[in-house]
Structure 1
Amino acid sequence: MGNPDSQSFNTSKLSPEQRLESPNTRLINAGIVTIHDMETLRACVAYENANQQRVQVLRRLEDQASEIRSQDG
């Protein structure tokens, strides 16, 4: 089967635009839940505020921020 890591997609390299600009809400949610650091999360919040300003997406980002904080604690 080979190395599973060679087949996985490295989500840490995704830009905020790549994470948040999809017509499919499942892909947007997947982009958000794969954020594991506050720097990336802040960049995504800034991108969303500057562009779409979707309340649902901002709420998901807020939820993810809480998740990151609880893991850091």
Structure 2
Amino acid sequence: MSNPNGQTTDASELSPEQRLEPPNTRLITAGIATINDMETLRECVAYENAHQNRTPILKRLDRKATELQDAAEN
């Protein structure tokens, strides 16, 4: 992803706000897709609950949690 200065940002360094508040839904989808650990996922859920509380986004985060849990079991 690029920051406002056009520089590339490592997805692991994105804040919940950067993942969930970009200007279009494709970037939200990409932000969620690049979550690789439960701590980051929990931070994003907490951010979403506190700021926007959008049901579709929370459902995407729930699906991502299931993916991470399934991956941890294998």
- Deviation by residue 1:9-51 (Cα, 9 ceiling, x = unmatched): 4100000000000231110010001001000000000000000
Residues paired across the two proteins, number: 66
Unaligned runs of 5+ in 1: 1-7
Q: TM-score, normalised by structure 1?
A: 0.86
Amino acid at match of 1:16: P
- SS in structure 1 at match of 2:49: helix
Specify the structure having the higher radius of gyration (Cα): 1
- 2:68 is matched with 68
Q: Aligned equivalents of 1:57 and 1:24: distance in 2?
A: 13
Q: Aligned equivalents of 2:9 and 2:17: distance in 1?
A: 16
RMSD between aligned residues:
1.1
After superposing on structure 2, the runs of 4+ consecutive aligned residues of structure 1 that deviate more than 6 Å are none
Percentage identity across paired residues of the two chains:
61
Higher relative contact order (CA 8 A, sep 6+): 1
Q: TM-score, normalised by structure 2?
A: 0.85
Q: Aligned equivalents of 1:23 and 1:42: distance in 2?
A: 22
